[in-house]
Structure 1
Amino acid sequence: MFSKTKKTERIDPEQREQYEYARARIKQKKRLMQHFIVFLVGSVLLIIINPVLGVGKEFFIQNWFVWAILIWVFLFLIHVFNVFITNKFMGKEWETRQLEKLKAQQSARITELKKQAVQEVTVAEVKAARPDEFPDTDSLKKNNPSNPTAENEL
Structure 2
Amino acid sequence: MGDLDIRTAVAEDIPAIVGMLADDPLGAQREAPDDLAPYLGALERISADPNQHLVVAVRGGRLVGTLQLTVIPGLSRRGATRSIIEGVRIHADERGSGLGTLFIEWAIDESRRQGCQLVQLTSDASRIDAHRFYERLGFTASHVGFKLEI
**Alignment TM-score, normalising by the size of structure 1:** 0.18
Larger RCO (alpha carbons 8 Å, 6+ apart): 2
Larger Rg computed on CA atoms:
1
